[in-house]
A and B are shown apart, each in its own frame.
Chain A
Amino acid sequence: MAHAPREPGIEPMAEAGSSKKLSLDALWRARTSKFADFAGYEMPIQFEGLIAEHLWTREHAGLFDVSHMGPCFFALPNGHGLEGDAAHKKVASLIERLVPADIQGLKPGQVRYTMLLNADGGILDDLMIARPAEAAAAGDLYIVVNAGCKIEDWKLIEAATKGEANLVRADDRCLLALQGPAASKAAATVIAPELSDMIFMSVRRVETERFGRLTITRSGYTGEDGYEVLVRAEHAKDLAEALLAHPEVKPIGLGARDSLRLEAGLCLYGHDLDPTTSPIEADLAWTIQKRRREAADFPGAKRILREYELGAARKRVGIRPNDRAPAREGVEIMKDGKKIGMVTSGGFSPILNGPISMGYVEAAHAEPGHVVDLMVRGTPRSATIVPLPFVPHRYVRKK
């Protein structure tokens, strides 16, 4: 049997040998030996088993170490002299040079998902941008970019806003994601009761005696309710251990993180999104708010707005193979013997107990219900286009 997987679900994005250890490396190694390089970090891939961890997260709560990602603070320089909305609008207008979301329109404590774009409207990375809730932080943004592109992203942001704002990396801290229906209960018990009052896609700074100052967003990438907690490295071990001591919380590896986000129909940068892909092709038009569409003032606006009005030539879709063979990244999608697209993520869904894939197909074949062929190891296998997500999201939208 070949040791090297033929179609890895998770690819290292950095060269071998250059990998960094997580701050909590020892904590995870005490619980698993299964590590793999991902985006330049040695990451725990699996603890008790990918499917068991996946189901635990959907039924209880999982703790993920996502400290490889790129949290940062982007702020107007000291002495900017602006307050409240004026300070926010100023800093937001700077980052809006690179992203198509309405960042100026964020309310205090609101988070938005958006993407960095190139001049052709292609996606350089997807990211979260938050406006702090605290009045004292007016003129700051809290931004989290992907691990694999963080250095390039930060360089791009700095180059586009030089002298007008400062970017401070926060990836020396730890970022822990707590995800699942029991996340709210566990976070309220372990961190602070007020966390259960937050709604999905909001941010709050929380001062705690035990874990210091935390920057917490109610967000995640599993389709479940949950939080992403930025904690200083010196308090990270205490926080992780306290969360793991909660009976509903177990550690979850990067393997289950991938299957959870795939079931939730969420894109993995470098796989489902890349610099050739536009937000419209990726079915992310909802991330471009009206003010930005009308202003048409973001990179690649011409292409993106044309596709918004007329439709893109290809579209990201969900795909259910009609048998049990997983169709993974790189599998060609055919119709009547002609290639119409490609799978960009694929694997096994523990909730549906069968294979699921995501990919891009020509627009004419993108409607749910269309039957296509997936070329798995040279053999066409029937599959059906389905709506995304595969498993409904369970975000907490209202208090």
Chain B
Amino acid sequence: MTKRYTKDHEWVELNGDVATIGISSYATEQLGEVVYVELPAKDKDFAAHADMAVVESAKAASDVYAPIAGKIVDANAALADNPGLVNEAPEGAGWFVKIKVANKAEVDALMDEAAYADYVKGL
């Protein structure tokens, strides 16, 4: 399994040809308390960088982009009743969606954990 990050603070964990996607710990620190997450329907196709989900904190609504292209195979139903999971475990139980990856090379092109840590330090 490889875990990668985007400059927009999504994380992508690839397992076979299915990737789990969420937002990074850094992103949740910036957002504050998450009060609502709007996730896409199953079977929906996304191009890389398309608007895929919306995360709302007590403060404001922010778009979440598809980090890579693919088809939604699952969305985290637990977030509907407990959006706070995104704050508690952003890179675990607070995952957003699983997608069937169209092109694995898109995952490899993203930052690894060390590169993302450096990137965040520079912000």
B-binding residues in A (CB < 8 A): 1-3, 5-10, 45-46, 49-51, 54, 255, 259, 324-326, 328, 347-348, 350, 355, 377
Known A50-B32, A51-B33, A324-B80; judge A5-B58 contact (CB<8 A): no
Contact of A50 among B9, B33, B38 (CB under 8 A): B33
Contact of A348 among B8, B9, B58 (CB under 8 A): B58
Known A46-B32, A50-B32; judge A1-B9 contact (CB<8 A): yes
Contact of A377 among B8, B38, B59, B83 (CB under 8 A): B38
Establish whether residues B56 and A8, one from each chain, have CB atoms under 8 Å apart when the complex forms.
Answer: no
Q: Which residue of A lies closest to B54 (CB)?
A: A377
Give 20 A-B pairs besides A1-B10, A50-B32 with Cβ atoms closer than 8 angstroms: A1-B9, A1-B27, A2-B8, A2-B65, A7-B60, A8-B60, A46-B32, A50-B59, A51-B58, A54-B58, A255-B59, A259-B58, A325-B36, A328-B60, A348-B35, A348-B36, A350-B58, A355-B35, A355-B36, A377-B54
Q: In the assembly, what is the distance between CA of A259 and CA of B60, in Å?
A: 12
Q: Which residue of A lies closest to B56 (CB)?
A: A326
Contact of A1 among B58, B59, B63, B83 (CB under 8 A): B63
CB distance from B35 to the nearest CB of A (A): 4
Establish whether residues B33 and A1, one from each chain, have CB atoms under 8 Å apart when the complex forms.
Answer: no
The size of the chain B interface, using a CB distance under 8 A, is 25
25 A–B pairs (Cβ distance < 8 Å), ordered by A: A1-B10, A1-B27, A1-B55, A2-B64, A5-B59, A6-B54, A6-B60, A7-B60, A45-B59, A50-B33, A50-B58, A50-B59, A51-B33, A51-B58, A54-B58, A259-B58, A324-B80, A325-B56, A326-B35, A326-B56, A328-B61, A348-B56, A348-B58, A355-B35, A377-B38
Establish whether residues A7 and B58, one from each chain, have CB atoms under 8 Å apart when the complex forms.
Answer: no
Q: In the assembly, what is the distance between CA of A355 and CA of B33, in Å?
A: 13
Q: Which residue of A lies closest to B55 (CB)?
A: A1
- Determine the chain A residues whose CB is within 8 A of the CB of B76 once the complex forms: none
- Determine the chain B residues whose CB is within 8 A of the CB of A350 once the complex forms: 58
Question: Cβ of B23 < 8 Å from any Cβ of A?
Answer: yes
Contact of A6 among B27, B33, B63, B80 (CB under 8 A): B63
CB distance from B91 to the nearest CB of A (A): 13
Establish whether residues A9 and B59, one from each chain, have CB atoms under 8 Å apart when the complex forms.
Answer: yes
6 closest residue pairs by CB, A with B: A5-B60, A348-B35, A50-B58, A2-B63, A1-B9, A6-B61
Counted as pairs of residues, one from A and one from B, with CB atoms less than 8 Å apart, the total is 74
Contact of B36 among A1, A51, A324 (CB under 8 A): A324
Identify which of A1, A7, A54, A324 gathers the most chain B CB atoms within 10 Å of its CB.
A1
Q: In the assembly, what is the distance between CA of A6 and CA of B58, in Å?
A: 13
CB distance from B27 to the nearest CB of A (A): 5
Establish whether residues B35 and A1, one from each chain, have CB atoms under 8 Å apart when the complex forms.
Answer: no
Establish whether residues B32 and A49, one from each chain, have CB atoms under 8 Å apart when the complex forms.
Answer: yes
- Determine the chain B residues whose CB is within 8 A of the CB of A355 once the complex forms: 35-36
Q: Which residue of A lies closest to B8 (CB)?
A: A1
Q: In the assembly, what is the distance between CA of A45 and CA of B61, in Å?
A: 16
CB distance from B23 to the nearest CB of A (A): 5
Identify which of B27, B54, B60, B80 gathers the most chain A CB atoms within 10 Å of its CB.
B60
Q: Which residue of A lies closest to B26 (CB)?
A: A1
- Determine the chain B residues whose CB is within 8 A of the CB of A5 once the complex forms: 59-62
CB distance from B63 to the nearest CB of A (A): 4
Known A1-B27, A49-B32; judge A325-B58 contact (CB<8 A): no
Known A9-B60, A49-B33, A348-B58; judge A1-B80 contact (CB<8 A): no
- Determine the chain B residues whose CB is within 8 A of the CB of A259 once the complex forms: 58
CB distance from B76 to the nearest CB of A (A): 14
- Determine the chain B residues whose CB is within 8 A of the CB of A347 once the complex forms: 58-59
